[in-house]
Amino acid sequence: MKLCRRAQELAAYRGTVGFVPTMGALHEGHLSLVRACRSACDTTVVSIFVNPTQFNDPKDLENYPRTEEADLALLEEQGVDFVFAPAVDEIYPTPDTRVFDFGGLDRVMEGEHRPGHFNGVGQVVSRLFEIVRPNRAFFGEKDFQQLAIIRHMTAQLGLPIEIVGCPIVRDVDGLARSSRNTLLSPEHRAAAPRIYAVLAEAAESLRGKVSVPEAKRIIAQRIDAEPLLRTEYIEIASADSLQPAADWGQRLGELRCFAAVHAGPVRLIDNVPF
Ligand code: PAF
């Protein structure tokens, strides 16, 4: 495994190149992307870069877990070929002032609640694509909206990169794996599986039985019944356009239910097919 700090060190690839962009603090969710990448591509490149332009809250950036040594050991074990772990000025030699048009995909949910977040994601992912030049790139469905936005951006920029979405990896108690989970207190960690439990149960029992606004209200109420959790939003939206559903009869194709929930100072997101 070759560790590269500079873009020009990424050279001498073999065959098809797969890319897994990460912000480090790696967990089983990331490792599932690495495995998918390795089984589909000849060369696997993983980046570790905590991208400052996608944090709308400076405290969140400051507190974001950084565990590079452990991350490198895990990636070595997985048989990764290249790790790209640059400093900020390697990615942004000058401030990135590009503003992306994601065709409205960024106006709902995370985009609405974290202003500027997806523009920062667009900046870093397009820059990483330019440096790594992969044939395929792998992203987790936990960040479902991010995946849709990256697909849109890749097509818009005309990049010959296949974007591969991979299923959410959960702990045995159902909590979606996330780097932020390490920041949870033991009490909040014990409360957090309620998010998925409520979403999964609601997907079975509520569709078509109550109105969409009522379903969202019931889901938020059930999550917030746990005093250590506070729902920021629940949305039921098209899995393709991410447009919120007003009623079950709309022709939006497959629906998904999306949640953002605070567990103390930690903000968690999750989503399920609905
Ligand atoms: O999903 C993430 O970890 C990040 O948003 C990404 C795609 C690595 C860009 O910084």
135-157 residue pLDDT tens = 999 999 999 999 999 999 999 99
In the residue annotation, 30 being an active-site residue is answered as yes
Instruction: Give 123's Cβ-side CA count (13 Å radius).
Output: 22
Query: Which is more confidently placed, 196 or 204?
Result: 196
- The minimum-distance atom of ligand 1 relative to the CA of 150 is 7
The pLDDT of residue 252 is above 90: no
Distance CA 102, CA 117 (A): 12
pLDDT in tens, 174-186: 999 999 999 999 9
137 lines ligand 1 (CB under 6 A): no
pLDDT at 33 > cutoff 90: yes
Average pLDDT in the chain: 96
| Marked catalytic residue, from 30, 117, 152, 188 | 30
What tens digit of pLDDT does each residue of 48-74 get? 999 999 998 999 999 999 999 999 999
What pTM was estimated for this model as a whole?
0.96
Mean pLDDT value across residues 80-94: 98
Residue 21 CA to ligand 1 centre (angstroms): 6
Mutate to test the pocket of ligand 1, among 32, 124, 128 (most ligand atoms within 8 A of CB): 124
Place of tokens 């990331």: 30
- pLDDT of res. 53: 98
Kindly report the protein residue whose alpha carbon is nearest to atom 6 of ligand 1. Answer: 22
Contact 244, 235 (CB under 8 A): yes
- Ligand 1 lined by 51 (C-beta under 6 Å): yes
Considering only CA atoms, which of 172, 167, 119, 144 is closest in space to residue 240?
144
- 123/69 Cα distance (integer angstroms): 26
Tell me, what's the pLDDT at 208? Answer: 87
| Average confidence (pLDDT) over 192-205 | 96
Average confidence (pLDDT) over 92-97: 97
Rama region for 25: left / alpha / beta (φ>0; ψ in -120 to 50; rest): left
Q: DSSP letters along 75-140, please?
A: HHHHT-SEEE---HHHH-SS--------TTTTSSHHHHHSTTHHHHHHHHHHHHHHHH--SEEEEE
Average pLDDT over residues 99-125: 97
- What's the gap between Cα 56 and its chain centre? 15
Q: Whose CA is nearest to atom 3 of ligand 1?
A: 22
Q: Would you say the CB of residue 21 lies under 6 angstroms from ligand 1?
A: yes
Nearest-angstrom CA–CA distance, 151 and 155: 6
R_g over Cα of the chain: 19
CB-CB contact of 105 with 132 (8 Å)? no
pLDDT of residue 122: 98
Residue 163 scores a pLDDT above 80: yes
DSSP 51: -
Of the pLDDT bands very low, low, confident and very high (cuts 50, 70, 90), residue 249 is confident
Q: Is 125 in the pocket of ligand 1 (CB under 6 A)?
A: yes
Please report the atom of ligand 1 found closest to the CA of residue 54: 10
Q: Output the CA 161–ligand 1 centroid distance in Å.
A: 17
